[in-house]
Amino acid sequence: MERGPEELDFLRSGVNLGLWAKHIVSGFMIGFHKGTRRGTGSEFSQYRSYQPGDDIRQIDWKMFARSDRYYIKESETESSVTVRFFLDTSASMKYEENGITRFRYASLITAALGTLVTQQGDAIALHLVNNQGQQSLKERRGKAHLSRFIQMIENGNCEGSWPESSEWLIDNLTSHNRELWVVCSDLLDGHDRWNKFVEMSEHIGHEVLFLQILGENELHLNLPDVATVQDPESDRQLNIRPQAVRTQYLQNLDAYLNELKIALMSPKSSLHLMEMNKPVSKALYHFLKKRERE
């Protein structure tokens, strides 16, 4: 699980996102979500007798060798949901720390989770979201779809901000299946927008996971003595002395994060903070472990 330094190197380099996402999830012995459908999957459930119509590829030939009977090996698959990823591509995702942009970090998380979901046999959908125009990938299963999923992430371009209204979302929802929404963003565009998002997902009946990705410098303002900082969305610049403004800044940030927590407080939504200085693999592992316990 200790892939930190390698992973940081990867994030800085332009190595194929899909490969690394696969590499990350290969170590996980846990799934992204639990399902009740039995079928092919990673978690063994039971053997049942072969019945006409079953795919002969599912026959467990080792059992046939021992018992001379055809058995189908069934797993408790954790799927039957569509996992819809909303990857924030607003300008604030260009925020960079230790040579890694927030978008790159979020991309790896999205790609890794997408890979995990695909391995579980579930459908994934992707929306690259900003107010300059969304890109969407409809829900599908399979490796080919995962490739398109990853390709689309890699081509993502960060600009503008998160859209104020949620109309764009309604237009893109075509599936009537149960869905799990995963939002990868810094969630810094004002809690109202996220509140609306939660309300909409609740209305439709979907669960939403908010993965808030923030940098260490954003959380603690660990900048040099004097720094010129720029708002990625408005391009406004300021010269600041972090030491002088830190207290007030942290108070403001804490207040916002608390407001956000309250805004996202819902039985079907949860908020997970991920710090960019931690390796994605570690962050994901902890996130999935936590989710497993819930």
Stretch that binds another protein, among 20-28, 29-37, 107-115, 215-223 (CB under 8 A): 215-223
230 forms part of the interface with another protein (CB under 8 A): yes
161 forms part of the interface with another protein (CB under 8 A): no
What is the C-alpha separation between 156 and 99, in angstroms, rounded?
18
Stretch that binds another protein, among 30-38, 118-126, 191-199, 233-241 (CB under 8 A): 233-241
Write down the least CB distance from residue 109 to another protein, Å.
16
Contact 191, 263 (CB under 8 A): yes
The span from the first CA to the last CA of the chain, in angstroms, equals: 22
Write down the least CB distance from residue 63 to another protein, Å.
55
226 forms part of the interface with another protein (CB under 8 A): yes
Binding residue for another protein (CB under 8 A) from 172, 242, 268, 275?
242
19 forms part of the interface with another protein (CB under 8 A): no
Cβ proximity to another protein, 117 vs 158, nearer residue: 158
Stretch that binds another protein, among 14-22, 55-63, 240-248, 284-292 (CB under 8 A): 240-248
What is the C-alpha separation between 29 and 83, in angstroms, rounded?
19
Binding residue for another protein (CB under 8 A) from 123, 232, 260, 277?
232
228 forms part of the interface with another protein (CB under 8 A): yes
249 forms part of the interface with another protein (CB under 8 A): yes
210 forms part of the interface with another protein (CB under 8 A): no
Interface of this chain with another protein, residues 71 to 100, rule: CB under 8 A: 92-96
Cβ proximity to another protein, 51 vs 239, nearer residue: 239
Write down the least CB distance from residue 208 to another protein, Å.
21
256 forms part of the interface with another protein (CB under 8 A): yes
49 forms part of the interface with another protein (CB under 8 A): no
Binding residue for another protein (CB under 8 A) from 66, 69, 241, 261?
241
What is the C-alpha separation between 61 and 44, in angstroms, rounded?
16
Write down the least CB distance from residue 241 to another protein, Å.
3
Contact 85, 113 (CB under 8 A): yes
The binding site for another protein (CB under 8 A) comprises 92-96, 102, 186, 188, 214-215, 217-218, 223-232, 234, 236-245, 248-249, 252-253, 256
